[in-house]
Structure 1
Amino acid sequence: MFEKIPLSGVSNIEWLRLRKSGIGGSDAGAICGVNPYSSAMKVFRDKTSEEVEELDNEAVRIGHDLEDYVAQRFMEATGLKVRKSNFMYRSSEHPFMIADVDRLVVGEDAGLECKTASIYNADKWEDGNIPLHYVMQCCHYMAVTGRRTWYIAAVILGKEFTYRKLEWDDNLIGRLIELEENFWSDHVVPRVIPSPDGSKACDEVLEQYFHTARKESRIELVGFDEKLRRREEILGFISELQEEQKQIEQEVKLFMGDNESASSQCYRVSWGNVDSTRLDTKRIKAERPEIYSDYAKVSHSRRFEVRAA
């Protein structure tokens, strides 16, 4: 069973706020660790922050604008009829699970997810495959709505239209619900940060939660010596690789001389002129301190440093 939340007349901002009230289908793959474009940390940041982020890029626009087209192609290919639901669904048994589905299949216990894919990702759809994070998304929708079948249709831009059919899987859906419930109850509700994953989202969460250090406070560093030694090794590798990178760039520059561009069958290289203007803030501060004071903006952050004991 589920609760139906009407979306008719709901603004985009209100819709985005509704999505913060639970785990949605697009969050499922990230929480399971199979979404190459998102992570559990990113979901945690979204669900626990007050900010409402409106994504507006070409990929989002294409996906939104072509949703009707994908649904139409699906109906042509299958003979099935689909419709929009105009509702968000919330699971009654698991209220942390919500679903905002693309289409429902008329006369069948099924739904439809509409996707667009770049030609560069065409291989991920070959031989009947489905990108794994999309599988989790469809399973999530089945778990919330109780529908036993979910179709996923995709237009691979410039190449082909394809679709797949997923059936209810007790083990997979049960495990998905368990993972989502643990994430919601162990992290989102108590505001407990998930394990760091090296992502930018993790940096932002840590900055948000621990923005200011307590002056003169100190704790014993326990259990991190091996990790910090590994960090030193990584920094050494990075330094060597950056030096090699610079050497290659210098060799190309020497070859190019005063030419602005060069090309081969594989690469195009440019080494052009760039003019930039910067304010001499040191001089302004010395000669016009009143102007500097009026426009200076103080920022606060924490600096992370590691030194040998």
Structure 2
Amino acid sequence: MPSTCSQDPTSERWPSAVEAGLVSLDAAAAVGRDPFKSAVRLWMEKTERHDLLQPVDPFLVQSAETAAYWDRLLEPIVAAHYALRTGRQVPRTRALLRHPQHPWMLALPGREVVGAPDVQLLECRCVGMHAAELWSAGLPAYVRIQMLHRLAVTGAQALDVVALICGQDLRIHRVERDEVEISRLIDAEREFWHCVATDCAPLAGDRAEV
């Protein structure tokens, strides 16, 4: 991504926004592919420029808080239904992992899939009406980028994304490790993190080829 500028493998503590790096949910925004957040806004958050962030519409804030509430409430149910459908155990893990070569890349594995040679991790999503259209053609590109980030950090070969759409349509999408895509993603994220480290904003509107 062009711009205006020319440790320990595991931890259970969340560092501050600046020292932490990029977690899975940051990945698509960092490379300009997140429909809900721009790279510039993410850069402002990571550099703690909260006073420069444009105020968010209170209705959108309320909608996001409501969606987060239902996410937390329904996530165990979605995971349980995946376990029932597949016969696999999916214990939760809370360790915060750091990429061994790229310390600014972090990930919470979320749930592990036990006893399945073809998939190691599980991501549960509860998708409301406001985002359902993004899932109409399959797994959205921005979610795939987030999951490739998680595969890169954890070293896993595959993960399943189980999504409950509007409370009644359950879908399972497989994301397999792709070294070419992961390499491009790491390069793009590295450029974004360089902007954070050097305190220089990325160019608005740029989208990395990921």
Amino acid at match of 2:24: G
Specify which of 79, 85, 92 is matched with residue 87 of structure 2.
Answer: 79
Distance in 2, matches of 1:120 and 1:159, equals 15
Specify which of 54, 57, 78 is matched with residue 70 of structure 1.
Answer: 78
> CA 1:45/1:57 → structure 2, altered by over 3 Å: closer, same or farther?
same
Amino acid at match of 1:33: G
> CA 1:24/1:80 → structure 2, altered by over 3 Å: closer, same or farther?
same
Q: 1:33 offset after TM fit, Å?
A: 1.8
Give the structure 1 partner of residue 153 of structure 2: 144
Q: 1:194 offset after TM fit, Å?
A: 1.2
- The higher-RCO structure (CA 8 Å, 6+ apart) is 2
RMSD of equivalent CA atoms: 2.4
Distance in 1, matches of 2:45 and 2:136, equals 33
Q: Does 1:118 align with 2:158?
A: no
Q: 1:189 offset after TM fit, Å?
A: 0.3
Give the structure 1 partner of residue 4 of structure 2: none
Q: Does 1:172 align with 2:181?
A: yes
Q: 1:59 offset after TM fit, Å?
A: 1.3
Q: Does 1:159 align with 2:158?
A: no
Specify which of 163, 183, 197 is matched with residue 189 of structure 1.
Answer: 197
Q: 1:196 offset after TM fit, Å?
A: 3.1
Q: Percent identity of the aligned residues? A: 29
Give the structure 2 partner of residue 88 of structure 1: 96
Q: 1:17 offset after TM fit, Å?
A: 2.5
> CA 1:125/1:72 → structure 2, altered by over 3 Å: closer, same or farther?
same
Specify which of 96, 106, 113 is matched with residue 114 of structure 2.
Answer: 106
> CA 1:107/1:18 → structure 2, altered by over 3 Å: closer, same or farther?
farther
Runs of 4+ in 1 over 6 A off after TM superposition: none
Amino acid at match of 1:71: A
Distance in 1, matches of 2:39 and 2:157, equals 27
Query: CA offsets, 1:170-217, max 9 Å, x none?
Result: 1111100110111112x01000011134xxxxxxxxxxxxxxxxxxxx
> CA 1:115/1:144 → structure 2, altered by over 3 Å: closer, same or farther?
same
Query: CA offsets, 1:71-127, max 9 Å, x none?
Result: 111111222211111200011111010002321111345111111112354343345
Distance in 1, matches of 2:42 and 2:115, equals 34
Query: CA offsets, 1:49-70, max 9 Å, x none?
Result: 176xxx8711111112221111
Matches within 5 A, 1:268-283: none
Task: Tell me the TM-score normalized by structure 1.
Answer: 0.55
Give the structure 1 partner of residue 41 of structure 2: 42
SS at match of 1:106: coil
Task: Tell me the TM-score normalized by structure 2.
Answer: 0.80
Q: How many residues align?
A: 186
Amino acid at match of 1:81: Q
Q: Is the 8 A contact 2:94 2:110 kept in 1?
A: no
Amino acid at match of 1:144: V
Distance in 2, matches of 1:62 and 1:193, equals 34
Q: Is the 8 A contact 1:119 1:158 kept in 2?
A: no
